[in-house]
Structure 1
Amino acid sequence: MTIEAGVVPRATASRPAYAERARTWEAEAERQAARSRLVSNLRGLSFAVATVSFIALLAGGPAGVCVPLAVVGLSAFIALVVLHARVLDAQDLAERWVDVNRAALARSSHDFASIPDTGEGLAPPDHPYAADLDLFGRASLFQRLSVARTRVGRERLAELLLEPASTESVRERQRTVRALAADLDLRQRFEAHALGVAGAKPGTTRVRSAPNPELLFKWAESEPSLVHDAVSVWCSRILPPFTLASLVGYFAFGTTGIAPLVGLAAQAILLVRTARETSLAFSAVSASEGAFLRYGTLLEIIETLDTTDPLLVGLRDRLRTCLLYPLPSPRNGPNSLFLFFVEKKKAK
């Protein structure tokens, strides 16, 4: 759908529309859940076939029967693992769509008890008007307006409510709101994928924010130390193939067992030597990579916007031109997403 600047939508979604959309996505979630159970059972069956066939082969069963059955069972198991992951993703997305529409229904019905995010803690205690105008808290303006699901989204909405703006800025934002109001699917699709970034379990009432990427930024911008440690660098290159070759020689050709023991011991010493640096790197990446991968879909939605609204056009064009790298998305892998966020951090 094309988003046109300054066009006032003739109609907006009503409470019955939100309820109907929630029921539709509930049915889709149940369908995917049924598929998940079926695939899970087939996974178990294929694994059992492969295991029994392998045991039968070891027990002296006919190789002409056991080997094909084991290969087919193992191949089916691997394929079903991949399929099951996709089905679970589809089920999770459908459940997030349900949550999005239930939240919209609660906001339109003023059912604030069903909206867990009150924005508490986002306003400084000495703000001149936040408390007087009930900007945050139960039944507040923030609770009524917010569809922000990520940490940065919630903080940005709080900034817009707390900081003064020029008349022109306010009018520009209002034009953008009118442009987006007519495209419910776009807005809810963005919100549903943002729920995935936050990592909130569908159906939960607990407010969760996306992992804070500051740890990853701090590590990425720090001075590398291991690259200057020639001993560690060369040992990490030499020891793995040496240990593997010595193990193959020991088991296949009966060579001495001292060599693989030396290789394993040297690698253990190397791990201890580099433990501090590697633990920092692993902590930084493991704390943020999943969220960064899920950001890719949100960035793709923005980059492919079909709009004439100046504010949205500017946002889309900045995303398209801010990097020499392609659009970060799950298809591009974590590296492009990592580069995107690091470059954005440096640009601040």
Structure 2
Amino acid sequence: MPPTDPRAPSDPLREYQQRLAQRHATHASLDAEDLRLARLRLLVFGAAAILAALAWSGTLSPWWLAGPVAAFAALAVRHDRVLRARTAAARAIRYYERGLARLEDRWAGTGEAGERFIDDAHLFANDLDLFGHGSLFELLSIARTQAGEAMLASWLVTPAGAAEIRARQVATDELRGRHDLREALALAGTELRSVLNAESLVAWAEGAPVLRHAWTRAAAVVLTALALGTGALWLATGDATPFFIVLALEVLLFVPMRAALQHALHAAEGPARDLDVLAHALRLLEAERFQSPLLSSLRATLETASVPASVVIGRMQRLVELHAWQHNQFFGPIGAVVLWGTHLAWAIERWRSAHGASVRHWLKTVAEFEALQSLAAYRYEHPADCLPVILDAAAGPVLEGVDLGHPLIPESRSVRNSVHLGGVHPDEGPHLLVVSGSNMSGKSTLLRTVGVNVVLAFAGAPVRATSLRLTPLALGATLRVQDSLQDGRSRFYAEIARLRQLADVALQQPPLLFLLDELFHGTNSHDRAVGAAGVLRSLLARGAIGFVTTHDLALTAVATELAPRAANVHFEDRLEDGDIVFDYRMKPGPVTHSNAIALMRAVGLDVPGA
């Protein structure tokens, strides 16, 4: 692991406050300059109007207008730059305001919630609040492009391999102190999000060739040379016949191709604008030099034959600009004679053939940088969180967390607990913890805490813990299994269907980590006890490890039956002055009492004593 970046300040809150103050000052200064330039432009316009009236009356020469016109044009250019800079400053203000909101635990609802990534069929995403309002995705994501958001979302729902996790950890260590790059990439991403249509850009870049007969390209070169030569001959001798013969050949050959040529030219206009915006983000990355292997390899993908991607994109931009010359009334006739549009159409087709496949990779590279920057920002903003240690799979399924906390719960209200599951030998740790306790005591929160930290670990992010050691694991949960009116499924049927999926996953590698909440609570006590024991025994036999919660004291006997592979733990509560108080601390052994009746009375239900 490389040393910590010395540029990373120790106080994220102070760093963001200072940067926010600087951006506010910049915005205020640009506001003032905007007002000055607007007044100057109005003054110059007024002066030009007066001079124009005097020139019209013959009092002054029209040449007097040259100065005000030039001054107005220069002011317009300067004003445009100021307005762009002010827009960037406003975006930077919003960027750091959201950063402060994350640090102050008031971030929910301030960012992209990732609702489009919600998948009810996923084995753990809904159960662990990965997407939606106040979700893990909203806390993590500073990506501004849709591709960057999709990349981060895929990292959360698809665990990475051990080597990739370590590579991301090293990369985020290098990135976490690079605030200027992170800010610039976020601002460029905002522009990309508002302008770029990634799907249509990739479709154009990778589309089938529009011009199919290569010999017409050579014919165009020959005819252009002949047109220039015969035109010179016409000027020198006055004989126009050869020139018009060449023009006739051009018409015969290329008028039938006009539709294809126009399609090749006009189809490139929109993608060229998208590429120009993309090039801004790529130039930011091309200007950086990285030490970590992952960042260096991503940086290397931005070059084609040692030519930076932004330069390659610039060539396409110039081709589209040259095409615009055809619309000039003076150059248009010349362009028609020399087959200007034909040559440009072929040049665009050559660009697509040489670089079209790279566009998808450029977009993917920007997306991956955005995802890494999201993890790097989270790592910078939570310096007390630790990096998990990914153990070799030969250690057996292992999950060992010390002082685990839930990252979506403010630290001031978070109660941490330690867990230890698995190992090669049974005496190293149980493979199953049966978590009992009364309602609202913290059982489900424990499962979500474990699950979210495992998701973070396998995404390459730091975890909310003093330490976390784990082997590669597949994850599955039943914390938020729901019925479906559309599919005609009850909650119980949805639960057993999910359990069947988890049983199938448990037959594969890596081993399954299951998080089962209130198993079979929709059926009677006898069936629940028999079914739970059978399911848990089957999962353990398939090499899985995990947790099951219950407030049914009868189910705690399952741990005794499956010992030493299983153990009981519990959360408890107590009555203080008529109120139920929870400490949310996990303790060994089964719970010994229930608070259901007390809770009913607490909300005003008329429930008799036992």
* Aligned-partner Cα distance in 2 for 1:214–1:331: 17
Aligned counterpart in structure 2 of residue 33 of structure 1, from 20, 31, 34:
31
Deviations 1:114-141 (A, max 9, x none): 5231111124332111101111112211
Aligned residues of 1:304 and 1:316 also touching (Cα < 8 A)? no
| C-alpha spacing 1:131/1:346, structure 2 compared with 1 (3 Å) | closer
1:224 counterpart residue number: 210
* Aligned-partner Cα distance in 1 for 2:213–2:40: 47
| C-alpha spacing 1:108/1:346, structure 2 compared with 1 (3 Å) | closer
Structure 1 residue 316: deviation in Å? Answer: 1.2
* Aligned-partner Cα distance in 2 for 1:307–1:325: 18
Q: Does 1:310 align with 2:310?
A: no
Q: What SS class does the counterpart of residue 310 from structure 2 fall into? A: coil
| C-alpha spacing 1:330/1:167, structure 2 compared with 1 (3 Å) | closer
2:378 counterpart residue number: none
Query: In structure 2, what residue type is equivalent to 1:224?
Result: V
* Aligned-partner Cα distance in 1 for 2:78–2:142: 32
Q: What SS class does the counterpart of residue 116 from structure 2 fall into? A: coil
| C-alpha spacing 1:188/1:7, structure 2 compared with 1 (3 Å) | farther
Q: How does 1:75-114 map to 2 (within 5 A)?
A: 75-114=70-109
Query: In structure 2, what residue type is equivalent to 1:90?
Result: A
Structure 1 residue 346: deviation in Å? Answer: 7.0
1:135 counterpart residue number: 130
* Aligned-partner Cα distance in 2 for 1:12–1:278: 58
| Structure with greater strand percent | 2
* Aligned-partner Cα distance in 2 for 1:192–1:7: 29
Aligned counterpart in structure 2 of residue 212 of structure 1, from 197, 210, 214:
197
Deviations 1:162-207 (A, max 9, x none): 11211111111111111111222222222222223223xxxxxxxx
Task: After superposing the two structures, state which structure 1 stretch, 76-85 or 213-222, moved more.
Answer: 213-222
* Aligned-partner Cα distance in 2 for 1:346–1:297: 16
Structure 1 residue 226: deviation in Å? Answer: 11
Structure 1 residue 77: deviation in Å? Answer: 0.9
Query: In structure 2, what residue type is equivalent to 1:302?
Result: L
Aligned residues of 1:297 and 1:330 also touching (Cα < 8 A)? no
2:358 counterpart residue number: 344
Q: How does 1:121-132 map to 2 (within 5 A)?
A: 121-132=116-127
| C-alpha spacing 1:158/1:280, structure 2 compared with 1 (3 Å) | farther
Q: Does 1:6 align with 2:2?
A: yes
* Aligned-partner Cα distance in 1 for 2:125–2:47: 64
Q: What SS class does the counterpart of residue 154 from structure 1 fall into? A: helix
How many equivalent pairs are there? 290
Aligned residues of 1:26 and 1:94 also touching (Cα < 8 A)? yes
Aligned counterpart in structure 2 of residue 119 of structure 1, from 90, 100, 114:
114
Structure 1 residue 290: deviation in Å? Answer: 4.2
* Aligned-partner Cα distance in 2 for 1:212–1:323: 27
1:335 counterpart residue number: 317
RCO higher in 1 or 2 (8 Å CA, sep ≥ 6)?
1
* Aligned-partner Cα distance in 2 for 1:227–1:51: 56
Aligned residues of 2:118 and 2:132 also touching (Cα < 8 A)? no
Deviations 1:81-129 (A, max 9, x none): 1111111122122222212111111122221345231111124332111
Structure 1 residue 278: deviation in Å? Answer: 5.6
1:48 counterpart residue number: 46
Structure 1 residue 331: deviation in Å? Answer: 10
Query: In structure 1, what residue type is equivalent to 2:294?
Result: L
| C-alpha spacing 1:278/1:106, structure 2 compared with 1 (3 Å) | farther
2:22 counterpart residue number: 24
* Aligned-partner Cα distance in 1 for 2:51–2:17: 51
| C-alpha spacing 1:113/1:28, structure 2 compared with 1 (3 Å) | same
Query: In structure 1, what residue type is equivalent to 2:317?
Result: N
* Aligned-partner Cα distance in 2 for 1:227–1:61: 63
Q: How does 1:185-200 map to 2 (within 5 A)?
A: 185-199=180-194
From the CA coordinates, give the structure whose radius of gyration is larger.
Answer: 2
Structure 1 residue 73: deviation in Å? Answer: 0.7
Structure 1 residue 22: deviation in Å? Answer: 0.9
| C-alpha spacing 1:166/1:298, structure 2 compared with 1 (3 Å) | same
* Aligned-partner Cα distance in 2 for 1:218–1:309: 33
Structure 1 residue 157: deviation in Å? Answer: 0.6
1:151 counterpart residue number: 146
**Unaligned stretches of 5+ residues in structure 1:** 200-209, 235-269
Aligned residues of 1:296 and 1:330 also touching (Cα < 8 A)? no
2:164 counterpart residue number: 169
* Aligned-partner Cα distance in 2 for 1:224–1:157: 36
**Unaligned stretches of 5+ residues in structure 2:** 221-254, 320-347, 365-610
* Aligned-partner Cα distance in 1 for 2:3–2:126: 34
* Aligned-partner Cα distance in 2 for 1:222–1:47: 51
* Aligned-partner Cα distance in 1 for 2:313–2:189: 17
| C-alpha spacing 1:323/1:114, structure 2 compared with 1 (3 Å) | farther
Structure 1 residue 279: deviation in Å? Answer: 8.1
Query: In structure 1, what residue type is equivalent to 2:300?
Result: D
1:293 counterpart residue number: 276
Q: What SS class does the counterpart of residue 90 from structure 2 fall into? A: helix
Query: In structure 1, what residue type is equivalent to 2:36?
Result: L
Structure 1 residue 317: deviation in Å? Answer: 1.8
Query: In structure 2, what residue type is equivalent to 1:89?
Result: R
| C-alpha spacing 1:40/1:332, structure 2 compared with 1 (3 Å) | farther
Structure 1 residue 291: deviation in Å? Answer: 4.1
Task: After superposing the two structures, state which structure 1 stretch, 139-148 or 110-119, moved more.
Answer: 110-119
2:586 counterpart residue number: none
| C-alpha spacing 1:110/1:87, structure 2 compared with 1 (3 Å) | same
Structure 1 residue 145: deviation in Å? Answer: 0.7
Q: Does 1:67 align with 2:53?
A: no
Aligned residues of 1:149 and 1:194 also touching (Cα < 8 A)? yes
* Aligned-partner Cα distance in 2 for 1:36–1:226: 52
Task: After superposing the two structures, state which structure 1 stretch, 136-145 or 211-220, moved more.
Answer: 211-220
Structure 1 residue 148: deviation in Å? Answer: 0.2
Aligned residues of 2:23 and 2:92 also touching (Cα < 8 A)? yes
| Structure with greater helix percent | 1
Query: In structure 1, what residue type is equivalent to 2:30?
Result: Q
Aligned residues of 1:147 and 1:191 also touching (Cα < 8 A)? yes
Query: In structure 2, what residue type is equivalent to 1:187?
Result: R
